[in-house]
């Protein structure tokens, strides 16, 4: 564009920039990839595919049998509420007499109202006298010189620690043991799901003119594996909340032993944890079984989603 052809309304476009770069020879040239790195990536993909095939053929049926055996465990049986409440009553016995006795427990309502009115008048008078004394003390302290801190008097006091007479309260060993076993198996399942999902993702071919039936099967299988992985991660997060709830209820029973609802809530939480473990085991048993069935039925399409003729046409 010359100076005589200058137009103030003309806008500089990307085509002009590309033609300028081509004319000057300063275009971005693509650097060839390193063949050694590509070879390492191909070897890693081959190992990943072999591991995924082994998981589908061997590990998934093994996990199905393990979850089935855990469902038949006696530790996941029904717990009697009376036994749980009896255990907590042995540690924190119910007090026979309450320390705090309120006014409405002694006498009728008229005596309570008269006593409350006398208490209110006495408290108002005492508050006025206390306010006058505080004002006088403030003026006296302001007249005096500030005291120098004495390092001997300033001692560091440790916080008070409440100890139980029966020693530390033990955990529920049966529930904790089976929770640990279940947690280890869930972690192994998450790793297996991740390996299978990545293997299916790398087996999806390059898409140019659209999908075919084999690629749709691959995407459905990958979505199914990712859903199983998400459910397993949610179950892992649920297991850590049991101990916190149990500890908070024990502390409340210790502070207020005369409230029997806390003892009933403690027994309900123990039974609810067993029910949650059984339901979680059923969910994992069903998911692993269905996933193994679908992957084995569609294994041919997962490995080779296209025929050789269509491979040449699309790739």
Query: In this structure, what token pair is assigned to residue 296?
Result: 């084995």
What is the per-residue pLDDT for 15?
Answer: 53
What is the per-residue pLDDT for 7?
Answer: 53
C-alpha 109/C-alpha 22 separation (Å) is 100
pLDDT per position as a tens digit, 32-59:
878 888 888 889 989 999 999 999 999 9
What is the per-residue pLDDT for 131?
Answer: 54
What is the per-residue pLDDT for 175?
Answer: 83
What is the per-residue pLDDT for 187?
Answer: 93
Ordered by where they begin, the domains of the chain are 60-91+171-314 (1.20.120.180)
What is the per-residue pLDDT for 313?
Answer: 47
Q: Is 276:284 a contact under the CB 8 Å cutoff?
A: no
Global pTM value: 0.63
What is the per-residue pLDDT for 82?
Answer: 67
For the chain, residues with pLDDT lower than 70 are: 1-29, 78-82, 97-167, 207-213, 307-315
What is the per-residue pLDDT for 296?
Answer: 92
What is the per-residue pLDDT for 286?
Answer: 92
pLDDT per position as a tens digit, 198-228:
999 998 887 666 556 678 888 889 999 999 9
């Amino acid at each position: 564009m010359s100076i005589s052809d200058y137009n103030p309304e003309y806008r500089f476009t990307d085509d002009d920039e590309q033609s300028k770069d081509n004319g000057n020879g300063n275009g971005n040239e693509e650097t060839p990839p390193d063949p050694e790195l590509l070879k390492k990536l191909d070897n890693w993909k081959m190992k990943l595919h072999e591991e995924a095939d082994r998981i589908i053929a061997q590990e998934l049926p093994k996990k199905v049998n393990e979850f089935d055996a855990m469902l038949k465990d006696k530790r996941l049986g029904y717990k009697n509420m009376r036994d749980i409440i009896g255990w907590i009553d042995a540690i924190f016995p119910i007090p026979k007499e309450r320390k705090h006795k309120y006014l409405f427990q002694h006498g009728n309502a008229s005596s309570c109202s008269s006593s409350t009115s006398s208490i209110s008048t006495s408290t108002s008078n005492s508050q006025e006298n206390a306010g006058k004394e505080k004002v006088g003390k403030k003026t006296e302290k302001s007249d005096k010189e500030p005291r120098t801190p004495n390092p001997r008097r300033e001692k560091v006091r440790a916080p008070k620690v409440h100890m139980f007479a029966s020693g530390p309260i033990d955990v529920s060993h049966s529930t904790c043991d089976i929770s640990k076993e279940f947690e280890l198996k869930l972690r192994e399942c998450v790793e297996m799901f991740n390996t299978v999902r990545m293997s299916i993702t790398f087996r999806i071919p390059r898409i140019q003119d659209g999908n075919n039936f084999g690629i749709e099967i691959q995407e459905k299988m990958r979505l199914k594996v990712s859903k199983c992985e998400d459910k397993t991660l949610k179950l892992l997060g649920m297991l850590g909340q049991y101990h916190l709830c149990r500890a908070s209820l024990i502390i409340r029973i210790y502070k207020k032993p005369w409230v029997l609802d806390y003892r009933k809530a403690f027994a309900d939480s123990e039974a609810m944890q067993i029910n949650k473990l059984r339901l979680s085991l059923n969910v994992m048993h069903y998911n692993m079984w269905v996933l193994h069935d679908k992957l084995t039925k569609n294994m041919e399409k997962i490995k080779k989603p296209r025929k050789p003729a269509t491979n040449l046409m699309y790739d």
